[in-house]
Structure formats: structure tokens, C-alpha cells
Amino acid sequence: LQECAVTGRGYTYSQLVDRIARWGGMLTKLGIEKGDVVAVMMHNYPEYPIVILGATAIGAVVSTVNVSYTPGEVHGQLEDCGATLVVGDTLTEKTLAQAITLCKTPSVVVINGPSSASGALDLQQIIEDTSVPFADPLEVFKEDVAVMPYSSGTTGKSKGVLISHHATISSMHIAANPNFFWGSETTDCNQESILCYLPFYHAYGLVPIMMVWLQMGAKLVCVPWFDPNTFVRDISQHKVKYLHMVPTILNFLNHSPTVTPEAMASVKAVMCSAAPTAPPAAATFKDRLGGNIFFQESFGMTEAGLVCNTAKGRERLGSCGHLLPHLSAKVIDTVTGEELPPNQDGEICFKSPAVAPSELEGLILQHPNVVEVGVVGVPDDRLGEVPRAYVVTSAPTTQTEIKEFVEPKLALFKRLAGGVIFINEIPKTATGKLLRKELRKMALTASCAHDTKEKSLDETPIKEDKL
């Protein structure tokens, strides 16, 4: 079950599945196709997962919008992500309306509830309308982009982050690793309740909270906005065992008279993230609750997901914990770039931003001579991995022509630094699905056979049946 702590509106998991399929069907009816962007500017209502999962089920990309944005900021994101449909609620519709008037391309507007806007559709009517057909099953590949949240913009302009279906699911499983995760899957005898007050538009609220706890079958108590007068009451009423927090909420609770061991008796563990937690603040909170809770601190990024978390039984206030399973990281010297041994000061090194192969393939296919294309990452001494395109053409074409066609439309890190290789046929399955792993094998064989850097200087088409 999901329910709203403010309106009381809720859905069982069975109802959730039906409404996700119905919302996907309506999007298809409205002309939304695979790769189209659906922007969502909603507070934490129970319909939020329906909007997200119904859109991604038909191959659309969801871009989440900060509900506190001004019309100008919303306009900037809508233009940047290229949204063709926008979902809001009664609290954000005025801002959305002002933002949309500034956009070059009109968007279909759907509001979660009755709207005064002319032509706006009512989300709740759509998902309750049994005449709306369910969405037909659509093949979505793991490399396809699922969501496009925007970074917080702490070092510059907020940027859209392309996160694939594979990356989203991987992040969910990593976050729910039993050595770090305090929740449990729903059974006939037990169902966890989780208080969802941290915004779903933020990467922290979207994956480690909304998606992971849905995966667990938990009861999601959706809180559209933080209310200090009801926060502790909601924790007690729903017997919340595992509490997600950010440092500002921690500081509030440390000064709130409503926080007592009795009122918070259900809480067994806390995860604090999104900003560094001061050890004295964490210690104060533990003391106020009688010292019997486990305090987790974690580190993550919109681009990378959850990276570090405190393992069970390894509490250490002031530390963001251990590297999570299936991830690798290194600390480097900021001057030399050399990897540092333990107990040395440096910076965590991240690989270059992830490049969605489907995005590059879509652009390259727009070239009039390109018939088929497959993009894979190839090893690079300096950058770790760079994109390479394997291309089938209908007429003689050079690598330079392909690059000059696509690169003006790409950020620097997405450019084809691995080169363009012309082949006679793209490897595919019997059903026509691209075999990306075969292209990777071809790339590795080529790098062993000859110097690909010298080869990339050749301006003549390279025809290779097998590498």
C-alpha cells in the first residue's frame, strides 16, 4: 500500500500496477513515443511512482523538476531536456503555466487534480478511467535512458543526468544490499513503513527511497511537504523503523521538543545523506533517542548513485562508510593524478560522465548515408573509456564526415574519441537486437591487433568484415 499522509489517498500494489499500465496507455494515446521526455514537477503524492513507472514502461524518459523552481528555472529545464509532456500538481501548475508560455515548443500539460488551466488533463481522472487501454508491452533495452534528474548545480549550472534502465536497477540492488540496508522485504506477516518526505525529484528521494522501497513491497507514506508539527507524529503513527534524513532535518529534530525516546520508539536505524553530517549532531540525536539506534551516513551523486554507506555493525560518526558492493573507486593526488595509498589526503576519482550509446546512435543514424550503427566504449589510457561507433553506410563516407555531422550536437565528453569504424554488418540477434557485446569483442581484438590511434587518422572509409 501507498498512502498520502496529508490527503489520505492511497493505492494497493495491485491498484498501482493497473494505474501504471493505464497511465502508459494514455501517454501512448497522446502520442508519446520511446525516447520522448516527460517532465514531472510534482510534490510527493502517491501518484508520483505511477507517473514515473508508466512513462518508463513505454520507453519515455522522465525528467524530474524541483518543485521550488521559479518559472524561469522551469523554462530552462523544459527547454534543455526537450519535454513534450509536463506533469504537475495543483501547487505547481501556476509556475508551470508561466514557464510553458516561454517555451518554443508547446507541451501537453497534465495536473494531478482539478486544474484551472485551459486544456490541462487531470491525472487522477486518467488513471481511474477504465476505458483507457493498458499500454502494450514495449521492448526497452538496458542501455536506453530511463530518467533524467538534474544535478544540484553546486559547481555551476544544473545539468540533466542521463541514467539508463540498467544503471537505475543496478543502483536499486546496490542500495538494498543486506550488509548495509536495514529494511526487509514484505511477507505475509510483515510490511515495513517508510516515510517519504524527502523530495522524489531529487536523486536521493527517487532511487534509494522511492524505487528501493517499492522493490521491497513496503508501505510508502508519501509526505508532499515537510511539516514540523506532524513529522514525529507520522513516524509514531506508522511505526517507521528506518528513517531517511538530511542534516537540516537532523538539526531540526535535535531542537524539537516532540522528539522523545517514547515518540520515536519504532526507529531502529537512520540514514543521513545529501550533505556532510556533523558528528556532534549525530551523537546528540542518538542520545535523545536513548542511544539504541544505528546511525548510517552515506555518500552519493546524481551521476553515480549511492556510492558509500555505513555497513551494519560498523557505525563511525563522521564517516560516510564503506564503498558499496560492485563499485570501484580510487583516491588520487590532485597535482600528479597518481593513485594514493591508504591514509593519504586526496580526492576521489570518478570516471568520465556516462555516455548513453542510444543517444549517440540516434544522432549518427540521422546522417543520410548511415544505415546501421552501434556504439560501444573502448579503453583509453587517459580517460579510461571513450565512445567508438561501428557504422554501416549506403555510400562511401569518411570518419571525418560522421564526426563533423554529430559532434556539434554533443558535449565534449560524448564525442567519438574512440573513432568511427565502418563495417559491412552490425551483429544482431535473430530478433534484430543489437549485440553490443560482440562489438566490444571486435573493439578489444582491434586494440590488440594494431594501434587504433594511428588508424583513427586515416580519412578513408575502413571496411572490415571481421576484426
Q: What pLDDT does 292 receive? A: 87
The residue type found at 5 is A
Of 269, 132, 113, 292, whose CA–CA distance to 194 is shortest?
A: 269
Asked if residue 83 has pLDDT above 50, the reply is yes
The larger pLDDT score, comparing residue 114 to residue 283, is at: 283
CATH 3.30.300.30 in the chain: give the residue spans: 357-464
Q: Is the pLDDT of residue 459 over 50?
A: no
Q: What is the pLDDT of residue 354?
A: 63
Considering the domain 357-464 in this protein, what is its CATH number?
A: 3.30.300.30
SS3 content of the chain, % helix, strand, coil (to 5): 30, 20, 50
User: Where, residue-wise, is CATH 3.40.50.12780 in the chain?
Assistant: 172-349
Confidence (pLDDT) at 342: 87
Q: Residue 454 pLDDT more than 70?
A: no
CATH architecture of the domain with range 10-161: 3-Layer(aba) Sandwich (3.40)
d(CA 49, CA 257): 34
**Is the pLDDT confidence value at 463 over 50?**
no
Are 270 and 298 spatial neighbours (Cβ–Cβ below 8 Å)?
no
CA 416 remoteness from chain centre = 25
| Start-end of CATH 3.40.50.980 domains in the chain | 10-161
Span 233-262, mean pLDDT?
93
Considering the segment(s) 172-349 as one domain, its CATH architecture is 3-Layer(aba) Sandwich (3.40)
| 22, 126, 305 from 131: Cα distances, Å | 9, 9, 38
Residue 88's pLDDT band (boundaries 50, 70, 90)? very high
**Which pLDDT tens digit goes with each residue over 403-441?**
999 988 887 778 899 999 999 999 988 767 788 888 988
**Mean pLDDT value across the chain:** 88
What is the C-alpha separation between 144 and 147, in angstroms, rounded?
A: 10
Residue 351 pLDDT:
63
